[in-house]
Structure 1
Amino acid sequence: MSHSIHSSIKEIQKDMYFGTEVLNRVSFLREDNEFITRSLFHPSTRFIFFNRQQPLVYKNYGTKLAILTNGNNQVNIDELTPGVHDKLGVTGTKFLANGLYEGIPGWKSVLNTWNEDNRNHDKELRAGGKPIFLFMGLLDESIGLDVNSLKGESEPAVSEDDDGEKYLDHQGRYQGIAYYAVDVTRNQELSQQLIEFVNRCVNEQQGTATSKPKSAEENGVYYTHSRKHFLSFEHKEASLYSYGAMFFNWLKTNKFCPGCGHPTIPIHAGGKLACTNDAKTEPTAEKPEPRFICPVRSATVSNVSFPRTDMAIISIITNRDRSKILLSLGKRHAITKMYSCTAGFMEPSETVEIATKREIWEETGVNCAEVSIVMTQPWPFPSNLMIGCMGVVDFNGTDEVIHLGHDNELLDARWFDTSFVRKLVYPDEVAAGEDESFNPEGILIPMSESIAFSLIKLCVDEARNAHKL
């Protein structure tokens, strides 16, 4: 579910859609081969699957992200609801009755192959039909997991990889449930097997496995490309989807080294790219130690080896007393009449504040007097971080004048009375029979999952609070 429109900014900052903290990334453990091996094969480990950056879902049951486990009968973990649950714990029902070990032929072989390739930095790591794995992190006590509640769930070990515990314990220091994202784009056979496996699980849960089993299409089991689904996930699911999708976009678009053109492979459990060019210079009297010919491999610091995030600013524009809000209509929203905040990408050597002022002027012609940073949101389309700001404009007869002729991106931009915008944010405040009279043009604002909505809401709330004072 999305945030309630009555959520406070503090709550939204903590639980931003696509950006909720759901895992302890323990990124330093990506280089620990022992940990990766133990977490990869543990029965409790969760897997999220992507095909061409599209996540596997079973949408007919609440647009749920399909999260699968290695072992059978793994425990279900309750959602952490602020003010209700202090700790995540066992719900009393099983997470899924069936696990990948029994449900997918050759699953353990797939894990073994990737584990050895990752451990040895094999040059063929993403060759042929091999899936790409990404270690995402641990659901642990720092994220609210009550490890003690899982201790009573231990069962007799059923395999050499199963220690009987329902959570991973590494060196007595890192305890929890490991999560991996898996890109199966290169292995369509495995991709289809996963669809069929999840569909069998759904049929069993619905009691239709033997009587009249439904097809995957009937059960809504597939890899979705729809933003309608991405924006309908529960917050935890949305953040897990965003995490995997952004990493896999980076891996897909960086298959070759920018320094020498050789293929790259994702090492450290998917968290770092490595050039496969092993060629070195010949030793000389001046430089007796050979160096890699590839400038990326020989560099002290290589930014291209790590994931990138494209920074974009998005700003709500208002005046000093918050009585006016400037919203704009982009060309692609002409039919829906959705007015939103001003946004654009940052440029090198630009501060957030200067980028915000620049984008406001370039798109609307308005001169912004001051800028404050409010909140941020990851936006996985494909790999952006939206930096939400508030820009204040002094109404002096010049700075607030709108001019759309600079870069010609917008169809319209207007200063709206905040009292009008408030009714778009809080539709329950619209009086009966007032729907058409207060908004004859049918103007819309962005959906509540977006940072644009949160910024607009912040502004109208500040106006109301200022009025009360």
Structure 2
Amino acid sequence: MQNYYAGNPLNRLSYLRSSPSFLASALESPKASFIPLDSLQPLCKNDKDGVRRLLTIKWSDVQEFIGDPKQVFHGVDGKRDEDVPELAILGKEAARLGKSKVGELSPQEKRQYFLNQPALVFLGVDERSAPESAKSLPLSKPDDNSTLESHSPHGEPYWAIDVSSCTELKKQILIKNERAMFMELRSGAQTMPNEEASIAAEARSLVDWNTRNRFCPACARPIRSVWAGWKRSCIPGEPSGEGADAEPACVSRKGVHNFSYPRTDPVVIMAVLSPDRERILLGRQRTWPARFYSCLAGFIESGESLEEAVRREVYEEAGIVIGEVGYHSSQPWPFPSSLMFGCWGIAESADAEKDVRVDLDNELEDARFFTREQVLKVINSTKPMQLSREQIAKIDGQGGPARDELDAAKRKADEQGAFMMPPATAIANTLVTAWATGKLFNQHPASSTNASSKM
């Protein structure tokens, strides 16, 4: 058993992201696969069995738009990117601007060039078909005049490319891939094989981060992507000006700064149990689809441990005091980029069901304890637990049912004991199912190493 979006098969080779020669060879490799994303939606297509599959394109499809690989990843192996200021203008932009080097651009042209440059991210290499002894190594033995990184790796390099602003490229992709479409990952992934979804999740998170972070938070200048999409820094050659008009060099160009690298936001999500461990606490927000309940969750705050976050969030959202806390498993959640820490917590009060209150932070409309029988009835339902795009939008707070619809649904749920759970793609489903089937404390997904440890 493994949480969805976990189990990414790619070797990320993070130690080679700063090697221009390695990246260039991985870019133009005949085995390289590119995941195009339009507004963060990856290219997908349903197979004959109705299973959604992730589609990729090849170097020949994108070469015209990217340009010379040796120019894309400028510099010299072993040197900092800040030490190589002469950047080439990539792809069709060189012809449009009539210039070949970034240094030839005016300040306004340079600003627009970097702001409009689509994200290109190296995701890693699929080495599953490579011999065990060759994994993480170059394709051939380097000679005396080359470096280890200057040779293509064994396996299939994977890249993500943002095609949102490349109308011509999008048109070519869709013409070449009949019946393919750019699909919202959260709703589309419910039928996608997990390994493909995990690669798409990595691609989505990194393209999103590169797209959001266009300006330096230290000096407000436009910033560019380096390390094949895994770092953003101020443009070499900046600042401009002389004498009294000269601006100071940006602090992000020296030392280590956390705003230069992709961020991951830690979140705790909890299976909150009654003292006898026979009931589970689930809650719902006002905007969620009718009868939809899930585990309580919240962001971990600065200076806070997992245990402290679990206890704080449960008390703030439901008024329940938690004693014992344990860890179950984790899940990367690419919306936009969180890491979900799946935990369990035991309520201290024997009357926990009477202690539930949702008026402290008013985040929830309702929270209640469900019996194992009620949960198993939902799990064993013949209808698979999948959410529509509209239902997901409601969960994300982009719309919601009317007040009378909520009240009617709540009354019906009270009468029938029926409710909806998150789909199998969510770690909330994993936690609830593990508890209901008696496996929360003695079985865990393969991505976890110590499911029942007490904290």
TM-score over 0.5 (shorter chain): yes
Partner of 1:250: 209
Percent sequence identity is: 28
Please tell me whether residue 351 in structure 1 is matched to residue 340 in structure 2: no
CA–CA distance in structure 2, aligned partners of residues 57 and 173 of structure 1:
27
Code of the aligned partner of 2:253: R
Residue of structure 1 aligned with 2:430, choices 454, 463, 466: 454
Aligned length: 363
Partner of 1:145: 129
Residue of structure 2 aligned with 1:191, choices 166, 170, 189: 170
C-alpha RMSD over aligned residues: 3.2
Partner of 2:239: 279
Please tell me whether residue 55 in structure 1 is matched to residue 42 in structure 2: yes
Please tell me whether residue 66 in structure 1 is matched to residue 55 in structure 2: yes
Q: What are the equivalent positions in structure 2 for 1:85-104 lying under 5 Å apart?
A: 101=60, 104=61
CA–CA distance in structure 2, aligned partners of residues 279 and 350 of structure 1:
39
Query: Displacement, 1:390?
Result: 0.3
* SS of structure 2 residue aligned to 1:339: coil
- For residues 463 and 233 of structure 1, do their structure 2 counterparts lie closer, same or farther at Cα, with a shift above 3 Å needed? closer
Partner of 1:206: none
Query: Displacement, 1:232?
Result: 2.1
Partner of 1:268: 227
CA–CA distance in structure 1, aligned partners of residues 435 and 241 of structure 2:
60
Query: Displacement, 1:281?
Result: 11
CA–CA distance in structure 2, aligned partners of residues 313 and 128 of structure 1:
35
Q: Which has the higher strand share?
A: 1
* SS of structure 2 residue aligned to 1:312: strand
Contact 2:317 2:364 in 1 (8 A): yes
Q: What are the equivalent positions in structure 2 for 1:4-403 lying under 5 Å apart?
A: 11-12=1-2, 16-59=3-46, 61=48, 62-70=51-59, 101=60, 104=61, 107-113=62-68, 115-120=70-75, 122=87, 127=114, 130-140=117-127, 144-147=128-131, 174-199=153-178, 219=179, 221-225=180-184, 227-276=186-235, 278-279=238-239, 293-298=249-254, 300-335=255-290, 337-397=291-351, 401-403=355-357
CA–CA distance in structure 1, aligned partners of residues 177 and 434 of structure 2:
41
Query: Displacement, 1:405?
Result: 0.8
CA–CA distance in structure 2, aligned partners of residues 190 and 48 of structure 1:
13
Query: Displacement, 1:170?
Result: 6.2
CA–CA distance in structure 2, aligned partners of residues 30 and 465 of structure 1:
39
CA–CA distance in structure 2, aligned partners of residues 256 and 294 of structure 1:
12
Contact 2:26 2:152 in 1 (8 A): no
Larger mean CA deviation between 310-319 and 113-122 belongs to 113-122
Contact 2:342 2:431 in 1 (8 A): yes
Contact 2:115 2:222 in 1 (8 A): no
Please list the CA deviations of residues 201-251 of structure 1 after superposition, one character each: whole Å capped at 9, or x if unmatched: xxxxxxxxxxxxxxxxxx2x2212363213221111111110011001111
Contact 1:367 1:399 in 2 (8 A): no
Query: Displacement, 1:137?
Result: 0.6
Contact 2:25 2:150 in 1 (8 A): no
- For residues 427 and 222 of structure 1, do their structure 2 counterparts lie closer, same or farther at Cα, with a shift above 3 Å needed? closer
* SS of structure 1 residue aligned to 2:355: coil
Partner of 1:442: 418
Code of the aligned partner of 1:448: A
* SS of structure 1 residue aligned to 2:416: coil
- For residues 276 and 440 of structure 1, do their structure 2 counterparts lie closer, same or farther at Cα, with a shift above 3 Å needed? same
- For residues 115 and 440 of structure 1, do their structure 2 counterparts lie closer, same or farther at Cα, with a shift above 3 Å needed? farther
Contact 1:58 1:66 in 2 (8 A): yes
Query: Displacement, 1:441?
Result: 4.4
CA–CA distance in structure 1, aligned partners of residues 210 and 271 of structure 2:
33
